[in-house]
Structure 1
Amino acid sequence: MDALGLSKLRHLKPRQLLSQVLNFALILSTAFMLWKGLSVATDSPSPIVVVLSGSMEPAFQRGDLLFLWNRNLELDSPPTPGTRVGEIVVYNVIGKDIPIVHRVVRKHQGPKTPLHLLTKGDNNHADDTELYARGRWYLDREKEVIGSVVGYVPFVGYVTIMLSEHPWMKTALLGIMGLLVIVQRE
């Protein structure tokens, strides 16, 4: 118990304890504000995602951290959005919560229709039509694509994968971080 610094918690005055809790809350709120600022700058609800499967190997491995940019609303772009065949996009299927990272293999756009995309994972044998919403053969670029991949950091996202596969680790990690903040101030 003493190794974690819990005995020091008992000796803190209420004002010191409140200061420690507020410092921890400040760290969390700063991280949240940075995330929201990045979301506004990239015009993407999720500017950073982690690759959760091997469907894009060898381009991306499980655990790679991807950086996204949503080219959907560029001011200088021609009438057709900048998505190209071969570009890697991240999309959310309506009714599912997990973003999917796959490559655009075909695009269609009529004079009065929105841009429709057909995607496929590099390591998959078939295209993604089975993953799309029922009755849909293409993705709607404006409604379902959350961004295009512009960069990545290999394997950094394994922490996220471990936390999602083992929920008890979230509680343990938050507890340890909280204790470290309190002990660090002493």
Structure 2
Amino acid sequence: MKTHSEKIGLFQKIRDLRKNGLVALLLLLTLLLVANFVLQGVLMLILKTSTPLHTPISGSMEPTLNVGDLLIIQGGVTGESLYAHAGDGDIIIYRDPRDYDGIPIVHRAVDKYQVNGTWYIVTKGDANSIVDDWSWYGFPRGGTYNVAGCPESYVIGKVIFSFPHLGGILSKFDAPMVNLGIFVLSLRHFLIIILLMLLVYLELTGSKEEVKETQGPEKPNKDVETAN
């Protein structure tokens, strides 16, 4: 039969396991979220673009690319270096002429031409029946299709790799915004802060418990015992 002290020791071990398991889980989640954040910064430097990762939001490039895929974008490309050909041309990501600061377009480069030293890229979604024509936005026509392509200055980069469905998962942590009054954070950044605060709290409370255990029980006051 277990003694009272053995039972206390067993309960303490269970509490320690629960605490250590929780800390490990929180630490793992924090590392995953931070790693994703740091990875984007590293990719920006390596791939030479402020948009190293992108996720298609429409099915215009299906079946080659699907909504929710995570695309790796190589920046630093020029109109001259891009391969533009129907069916197997480079897939590029470029600023939408209708909304320059909006969500970029991901389409295939099917043709290109030069006007006054500037390259213009003609694009088309694999699922679309016609090429994109931006002549309404003041760009000159040219090339095989006699349409207005987007200028090379609008091109952010080209797709060099894709991970099916992964972008849709990550976007769930980025798209929702948490309004804290003074600051507005993405859900991912908000979770990082909360998890770090929990880790600090558990560490501090754990340290206090360890100090109490080290000090042991309070010794009785001898003067009080003598007086009694």
Sort the TM-score into its range (normalised by shorter chain). Answer: 0.5 to 0.7
> Do the aligned residues in 2 keep the contact of 1:70 with 1:147 (CA within 8 Å)?
yes
User: Which of the residues 158, 166, 173 maps onto 1:148?
Assistant: 158
3-state SS of the aligned residue for 1:128? Answer: coil
> Do the aligned residues in 1 keep the contact of 2:93 with 2:159 (CA within 8 Å)?
yes
TM-score under structure 1 length normalisation: 0.66
For structure 2, list consecutive stretches of 5 or more residues without a partner in the other structure: 1-29, 140-147, 180-184, 203-228
Q: Does 1:114 align with 2:118?
A: yes
- Residue number in structure 2 paired with 1:83: 83
Q: Which amino acid in the other structure matches residue 179 of structure 1?
A: I
Q: What whole-Å deviation, never above 9, does each CA across 1:153-173 have from its counterpart, x for those lacking one?
A: 110111354457655697665
TM-score under structure 2 length normalisation: 0.55
3-state SS of the aligned residue for 2:50? Answer: coil
* Aligned counterparts, 1:87-166, within 5 A: 87-94=90-97, 95-109=100-114, 113-129=117-133, 134-136=137-139, 137-141=148-152, 143-162=153-172
- Residue number in structure 1 paired with 2:198: 183
User: Equivalents in 1 of 2:136, 2:37: separation in Å?
Assistant: 31
Length, aligned pairs only: 152
| Structural RMSD (CA) | 3.2
User: Equivalents in 2 of 1:35, 1:162: separation in Å?
Assistant: 16
Query: How far off its partner does 1:37 sit?
Result: 3.6
Give me the identity figure in percent: 26
Q: Which amino acid in the other structure matches residue 114 of structure 1?
A: T
Q: Which has the higher contact order (CA 8 A, sep 6+)?
A: 1
User: Which of the residues 41, 64, 73 maps onto 1:68?
Assistant: 73
For structure 1, list consecutive stretches of 5 or more residues without a partner in the other structure: 1-23, 74-78
Deviates more, 1:33-42 or 1:81-90: 33-42
* Aligned counterparts, 1:33-48, within 5 A: 34-48=39-53
Judged with a 3 Å threshold, the aligned counterparts in structure 2 of structure 1 residues 53 and 71 are, in CA distance, closer, same or farther, namely same
Structure having the higher Rg: 2
User: Equivalents in 2 of 1:139, 1:64: separation in Å?
Assistant: 24
